[in-house]
Amino acid sequence: MEPGDDSSLLLEAAQSELRTIADVIRWGASRFNAAELCFGHGFDNAVDEATALSLHALHLDPPLAAELFAARLTEPERDLVLALFARRIKERIPAAYLMGQAWFARLALNVDERVLIPRSPIAEWIERGFAPWIEPEQVKRVLDLGTGSGAIAIACALAFPAAEVDAVDVAQGALEVAWTNIQAFDLEPRVHTVHSDLFSALQGCYDLIVSNPPYVAAALLAGLPPEYHHEPRQALAAGEDGLAYVRRILLEAGDYLCPGGVLVVEVGASRAALEQALPELPFTWLEFARGGENVFLLTAEQLPRPGALC
């Protein structure tokens, strides 16, 4: 921030007047709202994001005991929190990247700008074990197609403890991040990173294939808030209609899904384009108790025949 601008004046006032954890959270939330930040990467409001950044800077684990919000900050502690707030406002970096951490299916994961910040509502259905479509004890192999941080692969490995899981991505940097998370959960024996362009390097069949692939149409991508442009473009961009990867998945998944297996894919705002393009497919659109939509499920038997989508 340049000396003399309004942001600098506000920061100077904050440095002299904010005393408690509650003070800095309230002030940060107010500044976030005034700056019209976008909350689309794990938090949906300014207060929760200011709280998360504050606790991260103070090395405190959430949830914080209520009485600690009135705790006085030292000057160096306050400066650390305000420095994070300043970067969030000026650079529009998502909070997860500033903290190096995001949450998925109640799991804390390492993230950086090599990977999409995990936020898929699919987490809820992983926790449910995809019942009634799947019998958990029958799941022996799981595929996370486009793993990014490894979030879906790790959550599936924990939900299906007898399963081997392949975490696939075309980006080597993403696989490096995924591997750090796999190691953090001591899942190296069962969760394997695979460098592959979708199915190209895979063999055999899977009982469950889950994917949160790129699905943002070109026109929508151009108009996304600045926060999204910190994420890897190849994890978002999916051609003119947002279906470039979803079409490939539907075309090839039948060769890699075991009899009785299921395919689960998130398509976001490209749902309408998908239904219009492939009206003959009997998509089951999953419902979410915690919020979310635009995730379909197809059984192996419902997948299109080879050549049907060409």
- Convert the pLDDT of each residue in 282-291 to its tens digit: 999 999 999 8
**Is the four-CA dihedral 214, 254, 210, 278 of positive or negative sign?**
positive
In sequence order, the β-bridge partners of residue 192 are: 166
Please report, in angstroms and rounded to a whole number, the separation of the first and last CA atoms in the chain: 53
The per-residue pLDDT for range 228-276, each reduced to its tens digit, is 999 999 999 999 999 999 999 999 999 999 999 999 999 999 999 999 9
Q: Is the pLDDT of residue 9 over 80?
A: no
**What tokens were used for 230?**
């910190």
Backbone angles phi, psi at 131, to 5 degrees: -70, 140
- Which residue matches tokens 């926060």? 227
The per-residue pLDDT for range 20-73, each reduced to its tens digit, is 999 999 999 999 999 999 999 989 999 999 999 999 999 999 999 999 999 999
CB 298 within 8 A of CB 310: no
**Is the four-CA dihedral 226, 227, 233, 238 of positive or negative sign?**
negative
- Residues 98-115 have a mean pLDDT of 97
Q: Tell whether pTM > 0.85.
A: yes
Question: What sections of 58-94 are H helices per DSSP?
Answer: 75-91
Architecture in CATH for domain 102-302: 3-Layer(aba) Sandwich (3.40)
- Residues 172-200 have a mean pLDDT of 98
CB 39 within 8 A of CB 45: yes
Q: Is the pLDDT of residue 101 over 80?
A: yes
Task: Tell me the one-letter amino acid at 255.
Answer: D
Domain ranges of the chain: 6-99, 102-302
Residues 90 and 196: their CA atoms lie apart, in Å, by: 37
pLDDT of residue 250: 96
In sequence order, the β-bridge partners of residue 168 are: 145, 194
C-alpha dihedral (42, 46, 51, 52), degrees to nearest 10: 20
